[in-house]
Amino acid sequence: MNAATVAALVEDLNHGLQDTTRTQQEFDETVEHLARAGLWVEVSLVPLTAGTHLYTLPDNALVLLHAFYDDRQLDRERVEDMDIMPGWRDHRGAPLAYVQADEADRTFRLYPIPTVASKAYVPLYGEPLGRDYPSYTAAVLTTYRRTSFQPWLGMYAALKVSALEFTRDGKQRDEPFAKACADVASFVAMLLA
């Protein structure tokens, strides 16, 4: 189920009254909502550079759940707690922990600063998380945005998109209908929970 198939369902629900120029934006907002609810999780490799402490989450990632370095799960630490340790920002070695300012932060800091660069990923078996896992590499477990998702979520997404669409200013604005779509979407979510 992707933006096009959800758009077709939205049209079915709304007799084509929606402003189709906004459907993609409303689909993206719906996907963001579902992703923030933790529906979709992925693991991504993050190649490290020796002497570099700060890394950025993959483009589609939203919330960093866990981080790993080689085979080790890293502890999540708060800056306030790390500051108890004088000079921690300069410590070097194999990473043991990561620090993030807050959930909205798209970067994370490794502690200590890695001193060895990641080996290159060589796809001998096509298994980056298996036999091809490159040494000295970090991996992050994150919630993320998908461009297509499970087909059974299609109607729920169409309801959410419709609720957004008919709340917006424009000639199609229909608040009672938008509210009804939002109520039915919440009801479906309640059934699925």
Partner 1 sequence: MGETVGPLVDELLRRIRDVGAQGTSRALVRRFLAHAEGLVAIAFDAHIETFTLTTTPERCVYANSELTGGTRIGKLLTFRESNRDIPPSPLEAFAAHSLSWFRQLGPRPEAWTALGKDLFVLWPAGSTARTVEVRAVAAPLAPDDTYTGSDGDTTTLDTRWTPQILDLAELFLLLRVRRLDALKAPMERLKALQVVG
Q: Which residues bind partner 1 (CB under 8 A)?
A: 1, 4-5, 7-9, 12-15, 38-43, 66, 68, 70-73, 125, 127, 129-131, 133, 139, 141, 143, 149-152, 154-156, 159, 176-177, 180-181, 183-184, 187-188, 191-192
Say what the alpha-carbon torsion angle 67, 68, 72, 77 is, to the nearest 10 degrees.
Answer: -30
From the CB of 22, what's the least distance to partner 1, in Å? 18
* Cβ-Cβ contacts under 8 Å for 135 (sequence gap 6 or more): 70, 118, 119
One-letter identity of residue 107: T
Under 8 Å between Cβ of 73 and 180: no
> Least distance in Å: CB of 167 to partner 1?
15
Please report how close the Cβ of residue 187 comes to partner 1 at its closest, in angstroms.
6
Beta strand 75-77 pairing with 138-144: unpaired
- C-beta closer to partner 1: residue 113 or 158: 158
> For residues 87 and 151, which CB has a smaller minimum distance to partner 1 in the complex?
151
